[in-house]
C-alpha cells in the first residue's frame, strides 16, 4: 500500500512540475500602422529549457533581434526565473496578421507558445522629432523612379531609371535592392551598370547627390494603363549626432533603413487607325529597309544570297521582317535570321541596330527572273505617322543551264525536255566540282627526325624540373610566416580593390575605403555594420589578441576617412591612405 502511494505521489509531482513550465508570447501592441514596428517577446518560466525555435513571422519582416535576457529573483524564500527572446518586426501588408507560436525543448518535451493576432492599419503620421535619426534619414533619403515618357505609344520604347537621392547631411555606407522591380506588360532589357557612381543633381529644387541603381529599356505590349510597381531598397546610413570628437570631426550614428519607390503609372496610347497600311505588322520606331543579292548573274544550280535588312531604332525584336516572294523556277531555302542590336549606356536612345533574313536562292533553269518588290511599313512616334518603304525590282540573270519553253496551248511554262524528271535530287548541285587532280608530295619520315629526338628526351628533362618545383612548393608550404603574410596581403587587396579604382575621386574614394574597412571587420569578427563603433572595434580586436599599436593604426585610418571628406586632399595623400589601410589590414589578419 505504501509503495502504491509513493508511485502515485511521484506521478502527481512529475505532472505538476511539467504543468508549471510555460512559454508565452507577448506583443508591445495589438494594433499598429503599416509604417510602425512591433516588439514580440517569448518568455519561458523554467530553467533548463533549450533549443528555442522562433515562428516564421509570416506577413512580417524581422528588423531586429533576437536579443536574450534572463531574470531570476528570490522573494520571501520563493524563487522565480524567466528567460526571454525578443524580436523587432515590421508588417509587410495591412489586415489581420497572426504571429504563430514559438517552440522550446524542456526535458525531452516540446513546449509551444500561444499564437497572437495583430491588426495592421494604414500608415499613421509619426511624431516629428528633429533629433530622431530615423526622422533625419527620412528627410534626407529619397528613392525615385525616373521614366523618360509616361505616355508612350504601343510598341514605343521608353527608358526607366531607379535613383537613390541623398543629401550632403548624411552618408550612405551600404545599400542593396531588396525587391527587384517588376515590368509586367512590358518587354524589357536591363542596361548593365558596371560601377555605381555618385553624381550631383537636383531633387525638388534642392542640391542632392544620387546613385543610379538600375536602368532598363521598356516596350509596352498593351494599349492600357500599365504600372511600374514599387521597388524596395535596404541601406545603412551614417546620421550626424550633432556632437564632435576631440579634433572637431562630427560623430555619426549608423542606422539601417528600408525605403520604397513610389508606384508609377504608364498610360499606353493605341496606334492610330487612320492611314494604317495593310501590311503593317507592329514595327514602331524609325527604320530603313534594304533588299540585296550577293550576285545577280549566275549559272543554273549555282546559288546566290538574297538578304532583307531592317535597320534603325525601335522595337526591332518585336516584329517580323517582310517575306520575299520569288518565282517558282527559283528554289529558295528557309532564311537565316540574324540580329545585331545594342542599347546605349544611357539608355535614352533605346534599342538600335539591325535585323535581317538571308535567303539562299538556287535557280533551276536558264533565264532572267524578276523578284517582286518587298514592302515594309512602320509607325514613327515622333511625327505620329505611318511610313512605307518599297524596295526596287531585283533581277536574277541565269546565263547557263536548261531553258524553259512556253506551251502556248496550255498556257504553262515547261522545260524544253518534256520529261519532268530533268530536275532531280542528284543534279541539284551540279556546279560542285566532282573531279580533281592529285599530285604526289615528298614524304618525310618521322623516325630519327629532329622532332623525334626532341620528344624522346622531353620526359628526361621534365623529371628533374618536377623535382625542383616540388621542393620549392614544399619549402613554401613550410614557410608559415610567409604564407600568413601572403594570405593577409591578398585579403587586403581583395577588400581594397574598389577603393583603389577610385583613387583621385576624393569623396567616392574615402567612402569606398571606409566601406572596405567595415566589410573586413564584418567578415573577420562576424558583426553587423550597425554595431560598428570605434570603442567596439578596439574591444573586439583587443579580445582577439591584436596589438594595441595595430588597433590604434586601424582607428586612425577610419578617423582619416571621416576627416578627409571635409578637408582638401591630394592624390598623393589618397595613395598614402590606401597603403596605410592595406598595411593595417595585413597586420591585423596576421595576428588574428
**What integer pLDDT is reported at residue 354 of this predicted model?**
93
- How many angstroms separate the CA atoms of 369 and 394, rounded? 8
The number of residues making up the chain comes to 592
- How many angstroms separate the CA atoms of 302 and 400, rounded? 10
- How many angstroms separate the CA atoms of 98 and 111, rounded? 19
Is residue 14 within 8 A of residue 104, CB to CB? The reply is: no
Q: Any residues with CB less than 8 A from the CB of 187 and at least 6 apart, and which?
A: 218, 219, 221, 315, 317, 318
Q: What's the alpha-carbon Rg for the chain, to the nearest Å? A: 39
**What integer pLDDT is reported at residue 428 of this predicted model?**
45
**What integer pLDDT is reported at residue 375 of this predicted model?**
94
Is residue 182 within 8 A of residue 145, CB to CB? The reply is: no
- How many angstroms separate the CA atoms of 367 and 464, rounded? 75
- Strands 264-267 and 225-228, by their bridges, are antiparallel
Query: If DSSP codes are grouped into helix, strand and coil, which group holds residue 454?
Result: helix
Q: 539 is written with which cell numbers?
A: 574591444
- Our separate counts of H helices and E strands in the chain read 8, 32
| The 3-state secondary structure of 375-419, one letter per residue | EEEEEECCCCEEEEEECCCEEEEECCCCEEEEECCCCEEEECCCC
Strand locations in 78-231, DSSP E? 78-91, 95-99, 103-106, 109-112, 116-121, 141-147, 158-166, 171-179, 186-191, 198-203, 206-220, 225-228
Q: What is the dihedral of CA 477, 481, 486, 491, to 10 degrees?
A: 120
Chain position carrying cell 546610413: 237
Task: Transcribe 246-302 into DSSP letters.
Answer: TTSPEEEEEEEEEEEPPPEEEEPBPPPSTT--TT--S-BEEEEEEEEES-SEE-TT-
Q: Which helix (H) or strand (E) holds 518?
A: helix 506-525
Q: What is the dihedral of CA 459, 464, 468, 474, to 10 degrees?
A: 80
Q: Which helix (H) or strand (E) holds 139?
A: helix 133-140
**What integer pLDDT is reported at residue 497 of this predicted model?**
77
**What integer pLDDT is reported at residue 239 of this predicted model?**
86
Furthest CA-CA distance within the chain:
129
**What integer pLDDT is reported at residue 512 of this predicted model?**
79
282-304, pLDDT tens digit by residue? 999 999 999 999 888 888 788 88
Mark the ranges of the chain whose per-residue pLDDT is less than 70.
Answer: 1-19, 75-77, 126-130, 242, 245-248, 344-350, 403-446, 476-495, 526-532, 562-563, 565-569
Is residue 586 within 8 A of residue 488, CB to CB? The reply is: yes
Whether pTM exceeds 0.85: no
Amino acid at each position: 500500500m505504501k509503495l502504491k502511494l509513493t508511485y502515485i505521489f511521484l506521478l502527481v509531482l512529475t505532472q505538476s512540475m511539467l504543468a508549471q513550465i510555460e512559454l508565452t508570447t507577448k506583443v508591445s501592441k495589438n494594433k499598429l500602422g503599416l509604417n510602425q514596428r512591433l516588439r514580440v517577446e517569448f518568455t519561458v518560466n523554467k530553467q533548463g529549457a533549450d533549443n528555442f525555435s522562433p515562428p516564421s513571422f509570416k506577413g512580417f519582416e524581422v528588423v531586429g533581434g533576437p536579443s536574450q535576457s534572463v531574470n531570476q529573483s528570490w522573494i520571501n524564500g520563493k524563487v522565480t526565473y524567466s528567460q526571454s527572446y525578443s524580436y523587432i518586426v515590421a508588417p509587410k501588408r495591412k489586415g489581420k496578421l497572426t504571429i504563430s507560436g514559438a517552440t522550446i525543448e524542456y526535458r525531452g518535451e516540446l513546449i509551444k507558445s500561444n499564437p497572437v493576432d495583430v491588426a495592421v492599419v494604414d500608415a499613421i503620421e509619426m511624431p516629428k522629432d528633429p533629433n530622431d535619426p530615423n526622422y533625419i534619414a527620412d528627410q534626407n533619403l529619397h528613392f525615385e523612379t525616373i521614366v523618360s515618357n509616361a505616355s508612350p505609344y504601343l510598341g514605343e520604347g521608353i527608358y526607366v531609371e531607379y535613383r537613390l537621392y541623398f543629401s550632403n547631411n548624411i552618408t550612405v555606407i551600404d545599400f542593396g535592392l531588396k525587391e527587384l522591380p517588376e515590368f509586367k506588360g512590358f518587354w524589357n532589357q536591363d542596361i548593365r551598370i558596371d560601377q555605381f557612381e555618385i553624381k550631383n543633381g537636383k531633387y525638388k529644387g534642392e542640391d542632392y547627390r544620387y546613385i543610379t541603381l538600375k536602368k532598363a529599356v521598356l516596350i509596352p505590349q498593351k494599349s492600357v494603363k500599365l504600372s511600374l510597381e514599387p521597388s524596395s531598397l535596404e541601406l545603412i546610413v551614417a546620421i550626424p549626432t550633432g556632437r564632435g570628437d576631440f579634433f572637431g570631426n562630427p560623430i555619426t550614428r549608423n542606422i539601417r533603413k528600408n525605403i520604397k519607390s513610389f508606384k508609377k503609372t504608364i498610360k499606353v496610347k493605341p496606334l492610330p487607325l487612320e492611314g494604317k497600311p495593310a501590311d503593317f505588322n507592329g514595327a514602331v520606331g524609325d527604320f530603313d529597309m534594304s533588299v540585296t543579292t550577293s550576285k545577280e548573274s549566275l549559272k543554273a544550280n549555282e546559288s546566290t544570297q538574297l538578304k532583307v535588312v531592317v535597320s534603325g531604332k525601335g522595337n526591332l525584336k518585336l516584329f517580323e521582317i517582310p517575306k520575299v516572294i520569288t518565282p517558282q523556277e527559283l528554289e529558295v531555302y528557309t532564311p537565316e535570321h540574324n540580329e545585331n542590336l545594342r542599347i546605349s549606356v544611357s539608355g535614352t536612345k533605346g534599342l538600335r541596330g539591325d535585323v535581317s533574313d538571308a535567303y539562299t536562292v538556287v535557280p533551276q533553269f536558264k533565264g532572267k527572273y524578276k523578284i517582286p518588290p518587298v514592302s515594309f511599313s512602320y509607325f514613327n512616334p515622333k511625327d505620329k505617322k505611318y511610313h512605307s518603304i518599297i524596295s526596287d525590282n531585283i533581277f536574277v540573270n541565269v546565263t547557263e543551264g536548261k531553258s524553259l519553253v512556253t506551251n502556248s496551248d496550255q498556257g504553262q511554262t515547261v522545260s524544253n525536255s518534256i520529261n519532268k524528271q530533268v530536275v532531280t535530287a542528284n543534279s541539284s548541285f551540279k556546279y560542285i566540282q566532282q573531279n580533281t587532280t592529285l599530285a604526289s608530295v615528298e614524304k618525310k619520315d618521322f623516325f630519327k627526325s629532329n622532332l623525334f629526338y626532341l620528344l624522346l628526351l622531353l620526359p628526361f628533362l621534365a623529371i628533374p624540373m618536377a623535382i625542383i618545383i616540388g621542393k620549392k612548393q614544399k619549402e613554401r608550404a613550410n614557410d608559415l610566416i610567409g604564407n600568413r603574410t601572403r594570405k593577409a596581403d591578398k585579403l587586403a587587396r581583395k577588400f581594397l580593390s574598389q577603393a583603389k579604382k577610385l583613387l583621385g575621386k576624393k569623396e567616392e574614394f574615402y567612402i569606398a575605403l571606409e566601406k572596405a574597412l567595415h566589410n573586413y571587420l564584418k567578415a573577420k569578427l562576424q558583426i553587423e555594420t550597425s554595431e560598428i563603433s570605434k570603442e567596439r572595434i578596439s574591444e573586439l580586436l583587443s579580445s582577439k589578441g591584436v596589438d594595441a599599436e595595430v588597433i590604434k593604426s586601424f582607428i586612425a585610418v577610419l578617423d582619416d576617412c571621416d576627416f578627409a571628406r571635409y578637408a582638401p586632399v591630394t592624390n598623393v595623400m589618397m595613395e598614402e591612405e590606401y597603403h596605410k589601410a592595406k598595411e593595417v589590414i595585413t597586420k591585423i589578419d596576421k595576428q588574428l
